[in-house]
Protein backbone atom coordinates (compact mmCIF):
# COMPACT_ATOMS: atom_id res chain seq x y z
CA UNK A 1 0.00 0.00 0.00
CA UNK A 2 2.82 2.34 0.89
CA UNK A 3 4.57 1.50 -2.36
CA UNK A 4 1.38 2.32 -4.26
CA UNK A 5 1.10 5.66 -2.48
CA UNK A 6 4.71 6.51 -3.28
CA UNK A 7 4.22 5.50 -6.91
CA UNK A 8 1.06 7.59 -7.18
CA UNK A 9 2.76 10.53 -5.52
CA UNK A 10 5.67 10.24 -7.91
CA UNK A 11 3.31 10.31 -10.90
CA UNK A 12 1.56 13.38 -9.56
CA UNK A 13 4.90 15.05 -8.95
CA UNK A 14 6.01 14.31 -12.50
CA UNK A 15 2.72 15.61 -13.87
CA UNK A 16 3.06 18.76 -11.78
CA UNK A 17 6.62 19.30 -12.97
CA UNK A 18 5.47 18.82 -16.56
CA UNK A 19 2.68 21.33 -16.04
CA UNK A 20 5.08 23.82 -14.48
CA UNK A 21 7.40 23.33 -17.44
CA UNK A 22 4.58 23.93 -19.89
CA UNK A 23 3.44 27.05 -18.05
CA UNK A 24 7.02 28.32 -17.93
CA UNK A 25 7.24 27.77 -21.67
CA UNK A 26 4.00 29.69 -22.20
CA UNK A 27 5.40 32.58 -20.20
CA UNK A 28 8.60 32.38 -22.27
CA UNK A 29 6.63 32.49 -25.53
CA UNK A 30 4.56 35.42 -24.21
CA UNK A 31 7.78 37.30 -23.53
CA UNK A 32 9.04 36.46 -27.00
CA UNK A 33 5.91 37.95 -28.58
CA UNK A 34 6.70 41.33 -27.02
CA UNK A 35 10.46 41.13 -27.60
CA UNK A 36 10.53 41.83 -31.35
CA UNK A 37 8.22 42.70 -34.21
CA UNK A 38 10.40 41.15 -36.90
CA UNK A 39 8.18 38.33 -38.16
CA UNK A 40 10.96 35.92 -39.18
CA UNK A 41 12.86 36.28 -35.89
CA UNK A 42 9.65 36.03 -33.92
CA UNK A 43 8.43 32.83 -35.53
CA UNK A 44 11.81 31.13 -35.27
CA UNK A 45 11.98 31.90 -31.54
CA UNK A 46 8.45 30.62 -30.97
CA UNK A 47 9.03 27.42 -32.93
CA UNK A 48 12.28 26.70 -31.09
CA UNK A 49 10.38 26.99 -27.80
CA UNK A 50 7.56 24.79 -29.07
CA UNK A 51 10.00 22.12 -30.22
CA UNK A 52 11.56 22.02 -26.74
CA UNK A 53 8.19 21.75 -25.01
CA UNK A 54 6.86 19.08 -27.37
CA UNK A 55 10.20 17.21 -27.28
CA UNK A 56 9.95 16.62 -31.01
CA UNK A 57 12.56 15.77 -33.63
CA UNK A 58 11.21 18.39 -36.04
CA UNK A 59 8.58 21.08 -36.20
CA UNK A 60 7.25 23.55 -38.71
CA UNK A 61 4.96 26.51 -39.10
CA UNK A 62 3.22 27.07 -42.43
CA UNK A 63 1.21 30.13 -43.41
CA UNK A 64 -1.49 30.33 -46.08
CA UNK A 65 -0.55 32.22 -49.23
CA UNK A 66 -3.61 34.44 -49.69
CA UNK A 67 -3.10 34.60 -53.46
CA UNK A 68 -3.07 30.82 -54.06
CA UNK A 69 -4.41 29.25 -50.87
CA UNK A 70 -1.23 27.14 -50.66
CA UNK A 71 0.49 26.41 -47.36
CA UNK A 72 4.01 27.83 -47.42
CA UNK A 73 6.74 27.00 -44.91
CA UNK A 74 7.65 30.00 -42.76
CA UNK A 75 9.71 28.01 -40.25
CA UNK A 76 10.94 24.43 -40.53
CA UNK A 77 13.16 23.14 -37.73
CA UNK A 78 14.95 19.82 -37.52
CA UNK A 79 17.72 18.05 -39.40
CA UNK A 80 16.05 18.43 -42.82
CA UNK A 81 14.04 21.57 -42.05
CA UNK A 82 15.77 23.99 -44.43
CA UNK A 83 15.67 21.51 -47.31
CA UNK A 84 11.93 20.95 -46.82
CA UNK A 85 11.31 24.68 -46.49
CA UNK A 86 13.02 25.46 -49.79
CA UNK A 87 11.47 22.70 -51.90
CA UNK A 88 7.90 22.18 -50.77
CA UNK A 89 4.57 23.91 -50.41
CA UNK A 90 1.17 22.25 -50.02
CA UNK A 91 -1.98 22.75 -52.05
CA UNK A 92 -5.25 23.33 -50.13
CA UNK A 93 -6.20 20.06 -48.43
CA UNK A 94 -2.91 18.33 -49.34
CA UNK A 95 -1.26 16.25 -46.63
CA UNK A 96 -2.04 16.28 -42.94
CA UNK A 97 -1.18 19.98 -42.69
CA UNK A 98 -3.44 20.81 -45.63
CA UNK A 99 -6.27 18.82 -44.09
CA UNK A 100 -5.93 20.68 -40.78
CA UNK A 101 -5.88 24.08 -42.49
CA UNK A 102 -8.89 23.21 -44.64
CA UNK A 103 -10.96 21.71 -41.79
CA UNK A 104 -9.74 24.20 -39.18
CA UNK A 105 -9.38 21.64 -36.42
CA UNK A 106 -6.45 19.85 -34.73
CA UNK A 107 -5.30 16.37 -35.71
CA UNK A 108 -3.12 13.78 -33.97
CA UNK A 109 -1.77 10.99 -36.17
CA UNK A 110 -0.11 8.28 -34.04
CA UNK A 111 1.26 6.45 -37.08
CA UNK A 112 1.50 8.30 -40.41
CA UNK A 113 2.06 5.06 -42.34
CA UNK A 114 -1.56 4.10 -41.68
CA UNK A 115 -3.09 7.48 -42.56
CA UNK A 116 -3.93 8.08 -46.23
CA UNK A 117 -3.79 11.86 -45.70
CA UNK A 118 -0.04 11.73 -45.10
CA UNK A 119 2.03 13.39 -47.87
CA UNK A 120 5.27 11.42 -48.16
CA UNK A 121 7.13 13.48 -50.80
CA UNK A 122 9.24 15.50 -48.29
CA UNK A 123 10.36 12.30 -46.55
CA UNK A 124 11.22 10.64 -49.87
CA UNK A 125 13.18 13.70 -51.02
CA UNK A 126 15.14 14.29 -47.80
CA UNK A 127 15.47 10.80 -46.31
CA UNK A 128 13.76 11.92 -43.09
CA UNK A 129 11.28 9.43 -41.64
CA UNK A 130 8.07 10.78 -40.12
CA UNK A 131 6.36 8.51 -37.59
CA UNK A 132 3.85 10.54 -35.60
CA UNK A 133 2.50 14.04 -36.20
CA UNK A 134 0.46 16.47 -34.16
CA UNK A 135 -0.89 19.40 -36.13
CA UNK A 136 -3.15 22.30 -35.15
CA UNK A 137 -4.48 25.38 -37.01
CA UNK A 138 -3.02 28.83 -36.40
CA UNK A 139 -5.71 31.49 -36.23
CA UNK A 140 -5.77 35.28 -36.17
CA UNK A 141 -9.00 37.21 -35.57
CA UNK A 142 -10.97 33.97 -35.89
CA UNK A 143 -9.52 33.15 -39.32
CA UNK A 144 -7.15 30.26 -40.02
CA UNK A 145 -3.92 31.71 -41.38
CA UNK A 146 -1.77 28.60 -41.25
CA UNK A 147 -0.78 25.53 -39.22
CA UNK A 148 1.87 24.48 -36.74
CA UNK A 149 3.00 20.87 -36.45
CA UNK A 150 5.38 18.77 -34.38
CA UNK A 151 6.89 15.59 -35.82
CA UNK A 152 8.20 12.50 -34.01
CA UNK A 153 8.20 12.79 -30.21
CA UNK A 154 11.59 12.06 -28.65
CA UNK A 155 11.69 8.98 -26.41
CA UNK A 156 8.27 7.61 -27.25
CA UNK A 157 6.42 6.13 -30.21
CA UNK A 158 3.62 8.65 -30.58
CA UNK A 159 2.28 11.96 -29.39
CA UNK A 160 -0.60 11.76 -26.89
CA UNK A 161 -4.08 13.24 -26.94
CA UNK A 162 -3.30 15.17 -23.75
CA UNK A 163 -0.69 17.20 -25.67
CA UNK A 164 -3.15 18.67 -28.16
CA UNK A 165 -4.54 21.27 -25.75
CA UNK A 166 -1.12 22.68 -24.91
CA UNK A 167 -0.14 22.66 -28.58
CA UNK A 168 -3.27 24.66 -29.43
CA UNK A 169 -2.30 27.28 -26.84
CA UNK A 170 1.10 27.63 -28.50
CA UNK A 171 -0.61 27.92 -31.89
CA UNK A 172 -2.81 30.71 -30.50
CA UNK A 173 0.27 32.57 -29.33
CA UNK A 174 1.87 32.08 -32.73
CA UNK A 175 -1.27 33.54 -34.34
CA UNK A 176 -1.08 36.60 -32.10
CA UNK A 177 2.60 37.01 -32.98
CA UNK A 178 1.94 36.79 -36.71
CA UNK A 179 -0.93 39.28 -36.52
CA UNK A 180 1.10 41.78 -34.46
CA UNK A 181 4.10 41.51 -36.76
CA UNK A 182 1.95 41.90 -39.88
CA UNK A 183 0.19 44.94 -38.45
CA UNK A 184 3.56 46.46 -37.61
CA UNK A 185 4.88 45.74 -41.11
CA UNK A 186 1.76 47.24 -42.70
CA UNK A 187 2.20 50.36 -40.57
CA UNK A 188 5.85 50.68 -41.62
CA UNK A 189 4.90 50.10 -45.26
CA UNK A 190 2.24 52.81 -45.03
CA UNK A 191 4.68 55.23 -43.42
CA UNK A 192 7.25 54.51 -46.11
CA UNK A 193 4.63 54.93 -48.84
CA UNK A 194 3.48 58.22 -47.30
CA UNK A 195 7.08 59.45 -47.26
CA UNK A 196 7.61 58.35 -50.86
CA UNK A 197 4.38 60.05 -51.94
CA UNK A 198 5.44 63.25 -50.20
CA UNK A 199 8.74 63.19 -52.09
CA UNK A 200 6.94 62.37 -55.35
CA UNK A 201 4.57 65.27 -54.70
CA UNK A 202 7.49 67.66 -54.21
CA UNK A 203 9.17 66.46 -57.41
CA UNK A 204 5.96 66.73 -59.40
CA UNK A 205 5.16 70.18 -58.08
CA UNK A 206 8.69 71.27 -58.95
CA UNK A 207 7.88 70.42 -62.56
CA UNK A 208 4.44 72.02 -62.49
CA UNK A 209 4.94 75.10 -60.32
CA UNK A 210 7.55 76.85 -62.40
CA UNK A 211 6.51 80.39 -63.26
CA UNK A 212 5.35 80.86 -66.87
CA UNK A 213 8.01 82.50 -69.02
CA UNK A 214 7.99 86.27 -69.04
CA UNK A 215 6.53 87.61 -72.26
CA UNK A 216 5.38 91.04 -73.27
CA UNK A 217 3.41 89.42 -76.07
CA UNK A 218 1.42 86.94 -73.97
CA UNK A 219 -0.29 86.81 -70.60
CA UNK A 220 -0.03 83.25 -69.21
CA UNK A 221 -1.73 81.50 -66.29
CA UNK A 222 -1.99 77.95 -64.94
CA UNK A 223 -3.48 75.92 -62.11
CA UNK A 224 -2.96 72.24 -61.21
CA UNK A 225 -4.61 70.35 -58.32
CA UNK A 226 -4.02 66.57 -58.08
CA UNK A 227 -6.88 64.49 -56.68
CA UNK A 228 -4.35 62.35 -54.78
CA UNK A 229 -0.95 63.25 -53.37
CA UNK A 230 0.36 62.98 -56.91
CA UNK A 231 -1.53 62.97 -60.19
CA UNK A 232 -1.39 62.36 -63.91
CA UNK A 233 -2.29 65.82 -65.24
CA UNK A 234 0.52 67.94 -66.63
CA UNK A 235 1.12 71.24 -68.40
CA UNK A 236 4.09 73.20 -69.63
CA UNK A 237 5.03 76.43 -71.39
CA UNK A 238 7.88 76.07 -73.88
CA UNK A 239 9.60 79.14 -75.29
CA UNK A 240 10.23 78.78 -79.03
CA UNK A 241 12.16 80.86 -81.58
CA UNK A 242 10.60 83.93 -83.24
CA UNK A 243 8.64 84.99 -80.14
CA UNK A 244 6.39 81.95 -80.22
CA UNK A 245 5.17 80.01 -77.19
CA UNK A 246 4.44 76.28 -77.06
CA UNK A 247 1.76 75.12 -74.62
CA UNK A 248 1.05 71.52 -73.70
CA UNK A 249 -1.70 70.19 -71.44
CA UNK A 250 -2.16 66.47 -70.89
CA UNK A 251 -3.91 63.87 -68.78
CA UNK A 252 -2.33 60.45 -68.19
CA UNK A 253 -4.79 57.63 -67.54
CA UNK A 254 -4.86 56.42 -63.96
CA UNK A 255 -3.77 58.11 -60.74
CA UNK A 256 -1.04 57.91 -58.16
CA UNK A 257 2.67 57.23 -58.59
CA UNK A 258 2.55 55.32 -61.94
CA UNK A 259 0.62 58.17 -63.59
CA UNK A 260 2.90 60.77 -61.99
CA UNK A 261 6.06 59.05 -63.25
CA UNK A 262 4.66 58.81 -66.75
CA UNK A 263 3.53 62.44 -66.58
CA UNK A 264 7.09 63.61 -65.77
CA UNK A 265 8.49 61.54 -68.62
CA UNK A 266 5.99 63.04 -71.06
CA UNK A 267 6.81 66.59 -69.99
CA UNK A 268 10.48 65.92 -70.74
CA UNK A 269 9.58 64.28 -74.09
CA UNK A 270 7.47 67.29 -75.11
CA UNK A 271 10.29 69.71 -74.30
CA UNK A 272 12.77 67.84 -76.48
CA UNK A 273 10.29 67.20 -79.29
CA UNK A 274 9.16 70.86 -79.39
CA UNK A 275 12.72 71.96 -80.12
CA UNK A 276 13.48 69.28 -82.69
CA UNK A 277 10.24 68.88 -84.69
CA UNK A 278 8.87 71.33 -87.25
CA UNK A 279 5.15 71.04 -86.50
CA UNK A 280 2.64 70.19 -83.79
CA UNK A 281 1.56 67.03 -85.60
CA UNK A 282 5.18 65.82 -85.88
CA UNK A 283 5.65 66.39 -82.15
CA UNK A 284 2.56 64.30 -81.36
CA UNK A 285 3.61 61.53 -83.73
CA UNK A 286 7.07 61.29 -82.22
CA UNK A 287 5.76 61.12 -78.65
CA UNK A 288 2.97 58.71 -79.56
CA UNK A 289 5.37 56.27 -81.24
CA UNK A 290 7.70 56.29 -78.23
CA UNK A 291 4.81 56.01 -75.78
CA UNK A 292 3.03 53.21 -77.68
CA UNK A 293 6.27 51.27 -77.95
CA UNK A 294 7.17 51.51 -74.26
CA UNK A 295 3.73 51.80 -72.69
CA UNK A 296 2.96 49.40 -69.84
CA UNK A 297 -0.25 48.35 -68.10
CA UNK A 298 -2.40 49.77 -70.90
CA UNK A 299 -1.78 53.37 -69.88
CA UNK A 300 -2.42 56.19 -72.35
CA UNK A 301 -2.68 59.97 -72.31
CA UNK A 302 -4.80 62.65 -73.87
CA UNK A 303 -3.02 65.90 -74.72
CA UNK A 304 -3.17 69.18 -76.60
CA UNK A 305 -0.04 70.79 -77.99
CA UNK A 306 -0.47 74.34 -79.23
CA UNK A 307 1.94 76.91 -80.63
CA UNK A 308 0.81 80.54 -80.37
CA UNK A 309 2.38 83.06 -82.75
CA UNK A 310 1.46 86.61 -81.77
CA UNK A 311 3.22 88.22 -84.73
CA UNK A 312 1.16 86.19 -87.18
CA UNK A 313 -2.00 86.40 -85.06
CA UNK A 314 -2.55 82.66 -85.20
CA UNK A 315 -2.33 79.48 -83.22
CA UNK A 316 -1.63 75.93 -84.42
CA UNK A 317 -2.73 72.97 -82.35
CA UNK A 318 -2.81 69.20 -82.42
CA UNK A 319 -5.36 67.45 -80.22
CA UNK A 320 -4.71 63.85 -79.13
CA UNK A 321 -8.09 62.75 -77.76
CA UNK A 322 -8.38 65.73 -75.41
CA UNK A 323 -11.27 68.11 -74.73
CA UNK A 324 -11.29 70.96 -77.28
CA UNK A 325 -9.75 74.20 -76.02
CA UNK A 326 -11.95 77.27 -75.60
CA UNK A 327 -11.29 80.77 -76.92
CA UNK A 328 -12.68 83.98 -75.44
CA UNK A 329 -12.81 86.55 -78.20
CA UNK A 330 -11.55 89.74 -76.60
CA UNK A 331 -13.53 92.10 -78.80
CA UNK A 332 -16.96 90.43 -78.56
CA UNK A 333 -16.64 88.33 -75.41
CA UNK A 334 -17.93 85.31 -77.32
CA UNK A 335 -16.69 81.85 -76.29
CA UNK A 336 -15.81 79.29 -78.97
CA UNK A 337 -14.76 75.64 -78.71
CA UNK A 338 -11.84 74.85 -81.03
CA UNK A 339 -13.20 71.68 -82.57
CA UNK A 340 -11.42 69.65 -85.23
CA UNK A 341 -8.01 68.01 -85.23
CA UNK A 342 -9.26 65.33 -82.83
CA UNK A 343 -6.88 62.37 -82.99
CA UNK A 344 -6.38 59.18 -80.98
CA UNK A 345 -4.89 59.57 -77.48
CA UNK A 346 -1.16 59.05 -77.11
CA UNK A 347 -0.01 55.48 -76.57
CA UNK A 348 -3.05 53.67 -77.95
CA UNK A 349 -1.57 52.64 -81.32
CA UNK A 350 1.82 53.24 -82.95
CA UNK A 351 2.37 54.77 -86.38
CA UNK A 352 -0.53 57.22 -86.22
CA UNK A 353 -0.43 60.23 -88.54
CA UNK A 354 -1.72 63.15 -86.49
CA UNK A 355 -3.48 66.17 -87.95
CA UNK A 356 -3.29 69.77 -86.83
CA UNK A 357 -5.38 72.90 -87.32
CA UNK A 358 -4.82 76.66 -87.41
CA UNK A 359 -7.08 79.40 -86.11
CA UNK A 360 -6.92 83.16 -85.83
CA UNK A 361 -6.01 84.94 -82.62
CA UNK A 362 -6.59 88.65 -82.29
CA UNK A 363 -5.35 91.02 -79.61
CA UNK A 364 -7.16 90.33 -76.33
CA UNK A 365 -8.23 86.80 -77.28
CA UNK A 366 -7.66 84.16 -74.59
CA UNK A 367 -7.21 80.40 -75.16
CA UNK A 368 -8.15 78.07 -72.30
CA UNK A 369 -7.01 74.43 -72.21
CA UNK A 370 -8.28 72.21 -69.40
CA UNK A 371 -8.51 68.57 -68.29
CA UNK A 372 -11.67 66.60 -67.63
CA UNK A 373 -11.27 67.12 -63.87
CA UNK A 374 -12.79 70.57 -64.47
CA UNK A 375 -16.01 69.68 -66.26
CA UNK A 376 -16.45 66.36 -64.40
CA UNK A 377 -16.07 67.89 -60.91
CA UNK A 378 -19.14 66.88 -58.85
CA UNK A 379 -21.29 68.55 -56.24
CA UNK A 380 -22.93 66.83 -53.24
CA UNK A 381 -25.72 65.54 -55.46
CA UNK A 382 -23.34 63.92 -57.94
CA UNK A 383 -24.01 66.54 -60.62
CA UNK A 384 -21.07 67.41 -62.89
CA UNK A 385 -19.80 70.95 -63.40
CA UNK A 386 -20.24 70.39 -67.18
CA UNK A 387 -19.01 72.10 -70.31
CA UNK A 388 -22.02 74.44 -70.26
CA UNK A 389 -21.11 75.86 -66.84
CA UNK A 390 -17.47 76.18 -67.87
CA UNK A 391 -18.38 78.20 -70.95
CA UNK A 392 -20.55 80.50 -68.82
CA UNK A 393 -17.66 81.11 -66.42
CA UNK A 394 -15.19 81.58 -69.27
CA UNK A 395 -17.55 84.10 -70.85
CA UNK A 396 -17.08 86.37 -67.87
CA UNK A 397 -13.48 86.80 -69.02
CA UNK A 398 -10.76 88.39 -66.92
CA UNK A 399 -8.18 91.15 -66.95
CA UNK A 400 -5.47 88.67 -67.93
CA UNK A 401 -4.84 84.92 -68.29
CA UNK A 402 -4.12 84.42 -64.58
CA UNK A 403 -7.42 86.01 -63.61
CA UNK A 404 -9.30 83.81 -66.11
CA UNK A 405 -7.72 80.70 -64.55
CA UNK A 406 -8.43 81.93 -61.03
CA UNK A 407 -12.10 82.63 -61.86
CA UNK A 408 -12.60 79.14 -63.26
CA UNK A 409 -10.93 77.48 -60.28
CA UNK A 410 -12.99 79.48 -57.78
CA UNK A 411 -16.25 78.58 -59.53
CA UNK A 412 -15.37 74.88 -59.68
CA UNK A 413 -14.34 74.94 -56.00
CA UNK A 414 -17.61 76.61 -55.00
CA UNK A 415 -19.56 74.03 -57.02
CA UNK A 416 -17.79 71.09 -55.38
CA UNK A 417 -17.98 72.55 -51.87
CA UNK A 418 -16.18 70.62 -49.14
CA UNK A 419 -15.88 67.46 -51.23
CA UNK A 420 -12.38 66.54 -52.45
CA UNK A 421 -11.84 66.58 -56.21
CA UNK A 422 -12.38 63.06 -57.58
CA UNK A 423 -10.00 63.69 -60.49
CA UNK A 424 -6.94 65.81 -61.18
CA UNK A 425 -7.78 69.33 -62.27
CA UNK A 426 -5.66 71.47 -64.60
CA UNK A 427 -6.42 74.82 -66.24
CA UNK A 428 -4.05 76.73 -68.52
CA UNK A 429 -4.74 80.06 -70.25
CA UNK A 430 -2.81 82.18 -72.76
CA UNK A 431 -3.96 85.65 -73.71
CA UNK A 432 -2.57 87.61 -76.65
CA UNK A 433 -1.92 91.13 -75.44
CA UNK A 434 -2.76 94.15 -77.63
CA UNK A 435 0.25 94.99 -79.79
CA UNK A 436 0.63 98.49 -78.35
CA UNK A 437 1.30 96.94 -74.92
CA UNK A 438 4.05 94.56 -76.10
CA UNK A 439 7.31 94.99 -74.28
CA UNK A 440 10.13 95.29 -76.74
233-246 residue pLDDT tens: 888 998 888 888 99
User: Residue 174 falls within a domain, yes or no?
Assistant: yes
141-159 residues labelled b (16+ CB within 10 A) or e (exposed): eeebbbbbbbbbbeeeebb
Say if residue 146 is in the same domain as residue 284. Answer: no
Do 16 and 66 share a domain, yes or no? yes
- Are 167 and 219 found together in one domain? no
Name the packing angle between helices 39-54 and 2-35 (round to 10°): 180
Beta strand pairing call for 56-64 and 89-90: unpaired
Beta bridge partners of 249: 235, 304
Residues 232 and 350 placed together within one structural domain of the fold = yes
130 and 265 share one domain: no
Please list, residue by residue across 287-302, b when 16 or more beta carbons sit within 10 angstroms of its beta carbon and e when fewer do: bbbbbbeebeeebbbb
**Considering the domain boundaries, does residue 192 fall inside one?**
no
The predicted structure's pLDDT at residue 31: 56
Does 185 reside within a domain? no
Q: What are 192-231's pLDDT values in tens digits?
A: 666 655 655 565 565 665 566 667 788 899 988 877 666 6
The pLDDT of residue 302 is 92
CATH for 49: 3.30.450.40
> For position 429, which CATH number holds?
3.60.40.10
244 and 381 belong to one structural domain? yes
Ranges of the chain whose pLDDT falls below 70: 1-37, 192-214, 228-231, 255-257, 295-297, 435-440
At which of 133, 165, 180 does a domain end?
180
Is residue 175, in this structure, part of any structural domain at all? yes
In a domain, 125, yes or no: yes
Query: Is 353 part of any domain?
Result: yes
Q: Looking at the structure, tell me whether residues 165 and 219 fall in a common domain.
A: no
Single out the residue in 164, 180, 196 at which a domain terminates.
Answer: 180
Q: What is the spatial distance between Cα 189 and Cα 389, in angstroms, rounded to a whole number?
A: 42
351 and 212: one domain?
Answer: yes
Angle CA(219)–CA(221)–CA(222) in degrees, nearest 5? 160
pLDDT value at residue 1: 47
Q: Which residue range is the domain that position 77 belongs to?
A: 2-180
Question: Residue 324: its pLDDT value, please?
Answer: 94
Instruction: Give a yes or no: residue 196 inside a domain.
Output: no
Please count the structural domains in the chain. Answer: 2
- Claim to verify: residue 171 and residue 212 sit in the same structural domain: no
Distance separating the N- and C-terminal Cα atoms of the chain: 123
Helix H segments across 227-383?
A: 256-276, 280-294, 372-375
339-343: long-range contacts, CB 8 A cutoff, minimum separation 24: 341/317, 343/284, 343/318, 343/319
What angle (nearest 5°) sits at the alpha carbon of residue 251, between those of residues 247 and 255? 145
In a domain, 11, yes or no: yes
Residue 396: its H or E element = none
Rounded CA-CA distance 293/291 in Å is 5
The predicted pLDDT at position 403 comes to: 92
> What is the per-residue pLDDT for 7?
65
DSSP 3-state of 169: helix
State whether 209 and 153 are in the same domain.
no
Both 158 and 250 in a single domain?
no
Q: Which of 180, 195, 222 is the last residue before a domain boundary?
A: 180
Are residues 135 and 11 part of one domain?
Answer: yes
pTM attached to this predicted model: 0.58
Amino acid sequence: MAKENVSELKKRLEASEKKIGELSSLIEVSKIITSTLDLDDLLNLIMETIEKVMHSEASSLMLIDEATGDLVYSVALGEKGEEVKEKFRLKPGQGIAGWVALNERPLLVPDVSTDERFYSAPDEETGFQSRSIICVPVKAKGKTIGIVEAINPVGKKSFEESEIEMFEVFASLAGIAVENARMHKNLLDKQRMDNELAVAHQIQQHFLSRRPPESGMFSLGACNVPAWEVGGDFYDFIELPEDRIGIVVGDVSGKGVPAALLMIRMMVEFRFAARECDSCKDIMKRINDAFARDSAMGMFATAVFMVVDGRKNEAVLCNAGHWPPLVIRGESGNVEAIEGSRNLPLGVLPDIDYTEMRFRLESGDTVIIFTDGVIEARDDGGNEFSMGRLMEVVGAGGADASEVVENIFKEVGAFVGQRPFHDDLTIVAAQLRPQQSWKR
